[in-house]
Structure 1
Amino acid sequence: MRIFRTIFLSLSLALSGLVLPSLAFSAEPNLPVNINTADAETLSAALKGVGTRKAEAIIAYRESYGPFKALEELTAVKGIGESLLNKNRDSITLE
């Protein structure tokens, strides 16, 4: 969603004669995603290497076993290993 706002803002400014130096501008900081409450779309957008299927697997695990109590518990989800967890460690919160 942020990318669409960025593109829209960039196009609006370009049409008005102002130009942004880069499309990397973001109005919102990258905030950690709560794996205990996020929906599949949010999980797949926020986590590297997590597409729709892995996001749905995270939700299915959460629904079956309850909320995650530790980040390492994510490795119990099919398709998520230590490497993927480590790539996303700073992007995940449990609260």
Structure 2
Amino acid sequence: MKVIKTTLVAVLATLLLGTATVYAADETTAESSAQASVEIQSVNVNTATAAQLAEALDGVGEARAELIIQYREEKGGFSSVEELLEIKGIGMATLEKNRERIQL
């Protein structure tokens, strides 16, 4: 009976410690997510350099960034975020995932 009791206590302790570890991991993940959302970088598409655009916008590399600059120089700048859809290679998916990062 004493062996069963000791084993039961050991199993319960393992379960409780395992739960505490999982809880701590979840807490760490939540902190990382909060930090990631704070680190979202915004960029003004009317003034940024190609390097700044490529760094700040997800799915926009140097080539598309150069197209953004070319468009703004030809058209006098962007008056709406949706104008970015006129840039070759920028579609709704790219626009939507970057919408909160884009400033005019």
Task: Name the TM tier (shorter chain).
Answer: 0.5 to 0.7
Which position in structure 1 is the counterpart of 2:54?
44
Which residue of 66, 71, 81 corresponds with 2:81? 71
1:93 aligns with 2:103: yes
Bigger fraction of residues in helix = 2
Which aligned segments of 4 or more residues in structure 1 are displaced greater than 3 angstroms?
28-31
Larger Rg: 2
RMSD: 1.9
| TM-score normalized by the length of structure 1 | 0.67
Gaps of 5+ in 2: 1-31
Q: TM-score by structure 2 length?
A: 0.62
2:45 pairs with 19, 26, 35, which one? 35
Once residues 47 and 69 of structure 2 are traced to their aligned partners in structure 1, the CA distance between those partners, rounded to angstroms, is 9
Separation in structure 1 between the aligned mates of residue 52 and residue 97 of structure 2, nearest angstrom? 17
